[in-house]
Amino acid sequence: MSAPNEASATLRRLRHEMRTAIGQIMGYSEMLQEEAQDSEDDGAAEREQDLARIGSAGQRLLKLVDQILSPEQLGEAPDPAESERQASGTGADAGTEDGTPPSAPRQAPQESGRILVIDDTEENRELLERRLSRRGYEVALANDGESGLERLAAESFDLVLLDVMMPGIDGFEVLRRIRIERGPSDLPVIMATALNQPEDVVRAFDAGANDFVSKPFELPVVLARLRTHLSVKRALLQVEGMAQQLQIRNAFIRRTLGRYVSDEIASDLLENPESFETSGEKRRVTILLCDLRGFSSITESLGPVQLLRLLNTYLGSMAEVIQEHGGTIDEFIGDAVLAFFGAPRQDDDDAARAIRCALAMQRAMVQVNATNVAAGLPAVELGIGVASGEVVVGTIGSERRSKYGAIGVAVNLAARIESYTLGGEVLVCPGTLGAAGDDVQVSVSRQIHPKGFEQPITIHGVVGVEGRDDLTLAPHVPEFVQLPQGVAVRMGPIDDKEVSVQTHAGQIEAVSARVIRVRSEYAPDVMSNLRLQLIAADGAPLPGAFYGKVVAAAEQQVGCFELHITARSAPLDALMRRS
């Protein structure tokens, strides 16, 4: 180093040390002045004035040092902090008319927060600890950078007041290591130095400092900076807490909505809540209603645990398929599932998606039954009815309990259509078939006159979608086994869930896996439901009834009809196994 540069460096160190010592004198005098204000002894007022004069002398001395060893004379840029103090009237020449500094406030406001002071000068640490503690802060001390980092690793702090010039690792290196793991909003750091050069300030901010204060410390300035950054930190913590609560709330809403709509729709509703009309609106939707054939008789043969296991396996699978196709689950009604397509989000392919969903649900029943049979539970069959039309959708219920649902003729029509289904069948109304497109494959169409509707309608049995082998339903052609001898039965029609007291005699002549052929003088209507009971050779009825739907009159066999079994009995199962 050249002689002029070495001399300049020596003068800078001298300026730093002198300003630090003067700052300690001023700081201790101000602190003792505050303590004198709180004292009630007789000499407190006089002692306070003496301390004020010491502080004033220290300010004049500091001003003299800055004049003799000014940054300009040392070839440095002006001190921005000192310029700020001179402009605001709070610098070394500030005071009362007699040269004494203004008295400190009588009642210091109480603050809160845990502060770590890292400074290599014992007097600075003690001064800051005592003065900040009087304001309500909890202060911890570290005498160098390494010990400061150790305390930060072991303890929790709200803010760090960090000296720049220290032996070993300086304040910039300490700050760099802090910022590896802790961001400015997580742990504010205020740098402190007596150098006060612009490059120091820039370097501090570039390293991640939140703020910068100059030595000797002006307590009001230090306190203001502490309050500001601690308030910002608390506000950010509140925002983070609110954001976390919002995430928890959204996750809960998404899980709740996920029971009824797809994840995609749930996310869309959270992002665009204005699109979710809950007060009620008319929509054209496609309704899907399904339930298990003969479930009532199944409930009588299973225990509570077995029944719920069977039901939950089935409902869980169906709900998943509905959500995969963008449907909204209105409700579970026992073994029935009511869903609709077109609300809360409406698309051009609502009817087509509803049909694809229904086919996928029937296909999914294969795995449902495999799971249930493996658990020792019976196989079940599903019927699905689909209808399209205008309904009212919105929140239905009370303030304590409500749901997002649909009300309208289309809901009733879907229920009526579903009542005509056989196990494994999907029946749709003309409006749904027309809206779904030309690629829907239909196996059978038949005219019905459902209860509550003035005119007959034609319903269509859907078996697939062109080009989608994964949605094709295998046709069921019964392979009858002729019984060597007819088995007697008694049967009665079921009208709107009521079994007729009048019964009719007949004989089962042939059986297949799902259909039986019955001979009788009684000729039930096609698609009507019957309750049957096997009769023993002595004329006594065998225990357990079974149920079926008349599907057709037997071809070329007068007085015979075919009955699709919807619910079995133990005697019927035994008969079918023997055959």
Between 20 and 387, the higher pLDDT residue: 387
pLDDT of the residue at 54: 76
In CATH, 108-244 is 2.60.40.3880:
no
Here the tokens at position 27 are: 């700081």
Neighbours of 463 (CB within 10 A): 20
Q: Are 381 and 293 in contact (CB under 8 A)?
A: yes
Quickly tell me which residue has 């007959």 as its tokens.
456
Least confident of 187-201, 289-303, 305-319: 187-201
Average pLDDT, integer, range 192-217: 81
User: Is residue 46 predicted with pLDDT exceeding 60?
Assistant: yes
Average pLDDT, integer, range 352-375: 96
Superfamily of chain region 481-578 = predicted glycosyltransferase like domains (2.40.10.220)
pLDDT of the residue at 101: 47
CA distance readout (Å), 342 to 182, 283, 363, 471:
49, 7, 23, 21
- CA 359, CA 495: separation in Å to the nearest integer? 29
pLDDT of the residue at 241: 85
Between 45 and 515, the higher pLDDT residue: 515
Least confident of 58-72, 149-163, 395-409, 457-471: 58-72
Q: Are 34 and 104 in contact (CB under 8 A)?
A: yes
| pLDDT tens column, 328-358 | 999 999 999 999 999 888 999 999 999 999 9
- CA 94, CA 82: separation in Å to the nearest integer? 12
**pTM for the whole structure:** 0.60
Binned at pLDDT 50, 70 and 90, residue 472 comes out as: very high
DSSP label of 525: P
pLDDT of the residue at 123: 83
| pLDDT tens column, 524-573 | 998 899 999 999 989 999 998 999 999 887 665 668 999 999 888 888 88
DSSP string, 284-341: EEEEEEEEETTHHHHHHHS-HHHHHHHHHHHHHHHHHHHHHTT-EEEEEETTEEEEEE
Residues above pLDDT 90, as percent of the chain: 48
Average pLDDT, integer, range 171-179: 95
User: Is residue 174 predicted with pLDDT exceeding 70?
Assistant: yes
Average pLDDT, integer, range 189-204: 79
Least confident of 217-221, 315-319, 505-509: 217-221
Classify residue 550 as left (phi > 0), alpha (psi -120 to 50) or beta.
Answer: beta
pLDDT of the residue at 159: 96
- CA 212, CA 205: separation in Å to the nearest integer? 8
Average pLDDT, integer, range 434-440: 95
Most confident stretch, 229-238, 281-290, 467-476: 281-290
- The alpha carbon of 260 is separated from its chain's Cα centroid by a whole number of angstroms, namely 15
Most confident stretch, 82-91, 194-203, 245-254, 366-375: 366-375
- CA 279, CA 265: separation in Å to the nearest integer? 19
User: Is residue 193 predicted with pLDDT exceeding 90?
Assistant: no
Phi and psi at 344, nearest 5°, equal -75, -15
User: Is residue 29 predicted with pLDDT exceeding 60?
Assistant: yes
CA distance readout (Å), 425 to 290, 383, 420, 456:
10, 5, 9, 20
Binned at pLDDT 50, 70 and 90, residue 30 comes out as: confident
| Of 127, 128, 68, 56, residue with least CA distance to 92 | 56
DSSP label of 275: G
Q: Are 335 and 365 in contact (CB under 8 A)?
A: no
- CA 206, CA 172: separation in Å to the nearest integer? 10
In CATH, 263-471 is 3.30.70.1230:
yes
Average pLDDT, integer, range 485-501: 89
List all residues 6 or more positions away from 37 whose beta carbon is below 8 Å from its beta carbon: 44, 48, 103, 104, 106
Most confident stretch, 318-332, 390-404, 492-506: 318-332
Here the tokens at position 506 are: 């007949």
User: Is residue 107 predicted with pLDDT exceeding 70?
Assistant: no
Average pLDDT, integer, range 74-91: 51
User: Is residue 513 predicted with pLDDT exceeding 80?
Assistant: yes
- CA 252, CA 236: separation in Å to the nearest integer? 24
State the angle between helix axes of 3-38 and 44-68 in degrees (0 to 180), rounded to the nearest 10.
170
Q: Which amino acid, one-letter code, is at 62?
A: L
Mean pLDDT of the chain: 84
The answer to whether the peptide bond before residue 344 is cis (omega within 30 degrees of 0) is: yes
- CA 429, CA 457: separation in Å to the nearest integer? 8
Between 532 and 9, the higher pLDDT residue: 532
| pLDDT tens column, 114-123 | 999 999 988 8
Between 27 and 82, the higher pLDDT residue: 27
pLDDT of the residue at 89: 46
Here the tokens at position 143 are: 């005498």
The residues pairing with 189 across neighbouring beta strands, listed in sequence order, are 160
Here the tokens at position 161 are: 């007041």
pLDDT of the residue at 92: 43
- CA 561, CA 554: separation in Å to the nearest integer? 5
pLDDT of the residue at 236: 87
Average pLDDT, integer, range 26-48: 71
User: Is residue 277 predicted with pLDDT exceeding 60?
Assistant: no
- CA 425, CA 402: separation in Å to the nearest integer? 32
The sign of the dihedral angle between the CA atoms of 101, 102, 108, 109 is negative
Binned at pLDDT 50, 70 and 90, residue 215 comes out as: confident
Average pLDDT, integer, range 84-99: 46
Average pLDDT, integer, range 227-242: 89
User: Is residue 325 predicted with pLDDT exceeding 80?
Assistant: yes
Binned at pLDDT 50, 70 and 90, residue 202 comes out as: confident
Q: Which amino acid, one-letter code, is at 81?
A: A
**Computed over its alpha carbons, how large is the radius of gyration of the chain?**
44
pLDDT of the residue at 559: 86
Quickly tell me which residue has 């997580």 as its tokens.
186
Q: Are 157 and 148 in contact (CB under 8 A)?
A: no
